[in-house]
Structure 1
Amino acid sequence: MTVTTPQPRTTIPTPSHATSLRPRVKDVTEDAGWRELTEAVREAGQYPTRTEADHVTRTVLSALGGHVTGEERVALAQALPLEAGRLIASQVPEAEPLAAREFVESVATRIEGSTPATARWDVSTVLSVLSDHVGEPLTTRVLSQLPPGYALLFGRADLAAAA
């Protein structure tokens, strides 16, 4: 008859509260959604690299985040990939949204080497892709919060009567 001697434990059990101390592992689907969005921007805007498309997308979404408020802001953030939603939701709402032209000019100041013409291209590219991604009803709701002129930036005809 063979007698086995108990062996010491080779692993130390982790207390249940320690799991919250571990670094968060990136969710692959969350990264995929962001990559898909920036790839659509890269293709639509004909940007040479994903890095450039990523930068332009972040800049435009951050600028937009300050101009959309209330339920539309929440719905927009939820309809986008997690990273894009964070960019929208993390901005402090502006007291008054900028006119479309001023919005484009503000984006131009955030992108190195940008001109009003290139900023308009960047803004139109990102917002058109955004509109395609979130759909017609939500785009209409977002546009209802913004001053006239933004529809063109979202790739839509601006049917508002000139004042």
Structure 2
Amino acid sequence: MRWQAFLDAVRERGEYPTAHEAERAARTVLALLGAHLVGEERAELAARLPETFALILLNPLQAAEPLDPERFVRATAAWIDGASAETAKWDVSAVLSVVADAAGEDLMSRVLLQLPPGYELLFGRPRPD
């Protein structure tokens, strides 16, 4: 996926007034996501993202332990100036739903296996009952 298409999709889904805000959300969320993924899935996901975002995913913030979805959202809020848990959840969902589209179903299934339960909702991929 090209840079502009990725950023436009994040901006549209997040309803951000500027590309700068969409980029800030994407950088933060991808840095946190990268800390939770390893191996082939992280590399394959990075290959489907624009180069700048791929590098962020591949050189993540360090996570001491896997964060459940709620803590992931709180961590995102802590990294974005002025964000609340609610606005951070919006940011996370906007970015991760675009990531899921870029990844495709097979890769997303493998990515979700590396994450604690509940992330499928953040990626916009609720599991059927």
Give the structure-1-normalised TM-score.
0.75
2:14 equivalent among 45, 64, 87: 45
Identity over aligned pairs, percent: 49
How many residue pairs match? The answer is 129
Q: With CA pairs under 8 Å and 6+ residues apart, which has the higher RCO, 1 or 2?
A: 2
- Whether 1:89 and 2:44 are equivalent positions in the alignment is no
Q: What letter corresponds to residue 143 of structure 1 in structure 2?
A: L
1:128 equivalent among 86, 97, 101: 97
1:84 Cα offset (Å): 1.2
- In the alignment, which residue of structure 2 is the partner of 1:60? 29
- Whether 1:70 and 2:24 are equivalent positions in the alignment is no
Give the structure-2-normalised TM-score.
0.93
Q: From the two aligned structures, give the one with the greater helix fraction.
A: 2
CA distance 1:84–1:76, shift in 2 (3 Å):
same
- In the alignment, which residue of structure 2 is the partner of 1:142? 111
Structure 2 residues not aligned, in runs of 5+: none
- Whether 1:117 and 2:86 are equivalent positions in the alignment is yes
1:120 Cα offset (Å): 0.4
Question: Structure 1 runs of 4+ off > 3 angstroms?
Answer: 92-95
Greater C-alpha Rg: 1
1:81 Cα offset (Å): 1.3
- Whether 1:36 and 2:5 are equivalent positions in the alignment is yes
Whole-angstrom distance in 1 between the partners of 2:88 and 2:58 = 22
Structure 1 residues not aligned, in runs of 5+: 1-31
Q: What letter corresponds to residue 19 of structure 2 in structure 1?
A: R
1:80 Cα offset (Å): 1.2
1:93 Cα offset (Å): 5.4
Q: What letter corresponds to residue 119 of structure 1 in structure 2?
A: A
